Structure 1
Amino acid sequence: MERIGIIGVGEIGRAIVTGLCDGVDKSPEVFLSPRGAGTVAELSARYDGVQVCADNQEVVDRSELVIIAVRRQDRHEALAGLRVNDDRTVVNVMAGVANDDLRRTLGTDAPLVRAIPLPSVRERRSVTVTFPSHPVADAFFERLGGAQPVADEAAFNVFSALTGTLTSHYAYLATLTSWAAAQGIAPDDADRYIRSLFQGVGRALSDGTRSLQQLAADHETPNGNNERIRTTWFDAANSEALGKALDGLLDHLK
């Protein structure tokens, strides 16, 4: 797959381009929609194989695989009148937009695949959930860190809901930094320490031989500091509240 088109070059579109082109011996040709002039101009200037098209139709016409990454609320305007031949493979990365919905909008019989690429595709470290499994789309995401096909759209929506927890994690770290600053620690020192602390924890996640429960246990001693925070703050009520929030998000995605 050597001709890739991207309609909607926001954060995810930029990350995909970077993952495809940065530091590789041979990158594919990448065709970008013109909207977001600053971003697409920067990417086309940085990478030889990246070109900005005159419009979205040109993106489709010049590509074998077309990634649609516009915002959900903008899809009808962005895709109106677009002609997609049946020999294209279309990857839908719009959150909350089912393939049946997209097929009605495009009026095409081309294969449609939903996907959840994360910003870490720029480093080729993101495992991307896909539905349905398709050899072209799955091979594409394998080069960006891995593909994880799921059996049905219900399972896909569960994984989509899980991605909604990302910014809460960053906000949690920011809260820790603010607390330390309130105790008199210099904000820069608190920020540096929190980043180092959780980068180390993050590296432990690469050890697939230990379950998440085991990793938690390995970082905790009986009656120790970690156990105290886990049992007094992240208690059963807190865990239940998180589950309810995810249930609500899943209902919305359905």
Structure 2
Amino acid sequence: MKFGFIGTGVITEAIVTGLLKQEGAAHEFLLSERSRAVSARLAVASAQVQIATDNQEIADQADVLFLAVLPQVAEEVLQPLQFRAGQKVVSLIATVTHERLREWIGADVELTRAIPLPAVAERRGVTVLYPQDRVLSGLFAGLGTAVTAKTVEEFDAYAAASALMGTYFGVLETAAGWLAAQGCSEEGAQAYLTGVFSGLAKRAEADAGSSFSALREGHSTPGGLNEQLFRVFDSAGGSKALTEGLESVAARLQAAKS
């Protein structure tokens, strides 16, 4: 199968890197020249990767065509291109709706929107898709986990939640700073917290039938330290601030669509 990518940035690099790690996969990749540093790096990494100087060449040859350009230039890039009826097209362009994409594409393509996260490069990422597409679900399941949204509203909610990555590292940054203030080394604090949170993520994966609420309670002895820390966090407005942050991102995403 030949995958074409119009737009070669961080997420394109992550997807291609992850797919190249699949044993026995005879995929071919045709990448746009931009960003030149990323496309050149991938071409050096594998003979399965080729660079095209013309986006129409990519659209013509790709069995699955990924659109990975910035939203502000998407119309300019996509409108001049000719697409094939029935072609499988995957949009990674944040905030641009199905309706607008179809208007720009101008052909009856099989259009799916997706939100891959950087960890697909290690085949440990989670990718949200809309609408359901069996081929793409299988593709992204091979790069970690694939979640299909049932409605566009659900897809938009997942898009807002994807903004939690910076907050996650910000929480670790704060905790590491506190440990350093207690006399721990920066290296030790980072190694410790990385191990703790990695272990918790693996526990959640292994116990996927349990809700996060149940997992929190299971990791919090009544009257114990974990229960105390969450109680203080929640009463100090931590949970409220997190919810407000998600709401603000969701509102921004909705505003960008209008």
TM-score, length basis structure 2: 0.92
**1:221 CA drift (Å):** 1.1
For 1:150, the aligned partner's letter is A
Tell me if structure 2 keeps the 8 A contact 1:53–1:59.
Answer: yes
**1:35 CA drift (Å):** 0.5
Report the equivalent of 1:193. Answer: 192
**1:231 CA drift (Å):** 0.7
**1:23 CA drift (Å):** 4.8
Tell me if structure 2 keeps the 8 A contact 1:116–1:160.
Answer: yes
Alignment of 1:30-179 (within 5 A): 30-179=29-178
Tell me if structure 1 keeps the 8 A contact 2:129–2:155.
Answer: yes
**1:236 CA drift (Å):** 7.2
Deviation larger for 23-32 or 56-65? 23-32
For 2:88, the aligned partner's letter is T
CA distance in 2, matches of 1:192, 1:185: 11
Q: Percent identity?
A: 34
**1:178 CA drift (Å):** 1.2
Tell me if structure 2 keeps the 8 A contact 1:20–1:27.
Answer: no
Tell me if structure 1 keeps the 8 A contact 2:30–2:49.
Answer: yes
CA distance in 2, matches of 1:181, 1:164: 27
CA distance in 2, matches of 1:133, 1:209: 23
Asked whether 1:180 is paired with 2:182, we answer no
Report the equivalent of 2:209. Answer: 209
Cα distance change, pair 145–197 in 1 and its aligned pair in 2 (3 A): closer
The CA deviation string for residues 57-87 of structure 1, in whole angstroms up to 9 with x for no partner, is: 1111110111111122231333241111113
SS in structure 2 at match of 1:214? helix
For 1:13, the aligned partner's letter is T
Off by >4 Å, runs of 4+ in structure 1: none
Deviation larger for 54-63 or 243-252? 243-252
**1:53 CA drift (Å):** 0.8
Asked whether 1:239 is paired with 2:232, we answer no
For 1:160, the aligned partner's letter is A
Structure 1 unaligned spans of 5+: none
Tell me if structure 1 keeps the 8 A contact 2:233–2:239.
Answer: no
CA distance in 1, matches of 2:104, 2:22: 37
CA distance in 2, matches of 1:231, 1:93: 38
For 1:226, the aligned partner's letter is N
For 1:179, the aligned partner's letter is W
Cα distance change, pair 210–93 in 1 and its aligned pair in 2 (3 A): same
Structure 2 unaligned spans of 5+: none
**1:160 CA drift (Å):** 0.7
Deviation larger for 234-243 or 149-158? 234-243
